Structure 1
Amino acid sequence: MEELLAKAGDYFRRRFDGVIRIEIDNASSAIWVDGRAEPPVVSVTAPENVSSDFCLWRTSNDTLSRILSPETRRLEGAYIAGRLAISGDMAVMARLEIGEE
């Protein structure tokens, strides 16, 4: 989980005024990304003042690792292929900026 947290910290670099919860298949904890801060805060602990209005990602460990990897960064491909399920506050996805600075 520590490696994924580090990768997520590198992946989510810009504020996006929302919260993402990433649930990994067969994992006992989730990754929270609080994009209300600059830079976003990545943690296994839910951020303060989070309501049910967050964006939820569900995927496997392998797929998430590929999405967060600087070599591949395949968010759209994983979603289109059905390896990443996204639900909840979809406005968060509209505000999300990823990629190189």
Structure 2
Amino acid sequence: MPAKPANDELKEAAKKFFAASFDGVLKLAPAEQAPLWVDGHQSPPEVSLTPPAKTEADCIWHGAAEILQQALFSIRSFESAYISGRVTISGDMSLLTRLGKPEKK
């Protein structure tokens, strides 16, 4: 069964959560929905249904769409979802340390 399109609520939550660049590419992979890509090389990061050109995800967050959406409410909400196992992470976890930090120039 093909994945359903990503919901607008998750996309809007991602746009708010990823307000500052973070020098990486993140893939949000909600269960049974199309993934969202967050290109943190840009300021502000671009949230898209398609991956950035010639770039693979540095880190992938997996979980139910509603859990990912709730996790994007704040860093604390994300940490809670991760610790409880409702969100799993694969790839470069050091990307998490760069979220919300100003871009280095």
User: Number of matched residues?
Assistant: 95
Tell me which amino acid in the other structure corresponds to 1:92.
L
Distance 1:3 1:73 in 2: 19
Counterpart position of 2:65: 61
Tell me which amino acid in the other structure corresponds to 1:59.
G
Counterpart position of 1:40: 45
- TM-score normalised per structure 1: 0.85
Give a deviation string over 1:33-81, Cα, whole Å, max 9, x none: 0000000000111011213x510100101211211236x9600000000
Partner of residue 89 from structure 1, selected from 85, 88, 92: 92
Gaps of 5+ in 2: 1-6
- Kindly state the Cα deviation for residue 92 of structure 1 after the two structures are TM-superposed: 1.1
- TM-score normalised per structure 2: 0.82
Query: Would the alpha carbon gap of residues 93 and 69 (structure 1) be closer, same or farther in structure 2, given more than 3 Å must change?
Result: closer
Distance 2:77 2:36 in 1: 18
Distance 2:36 2:76 in 1: 18
Moved runs in structure 1, 4+ residues, more than 4 A? none
Counterpart position of 1:12: 18
- Kindly state the Cα deviation for residue 93 of structure 1 after the two structures are TM-superposed: 1.3
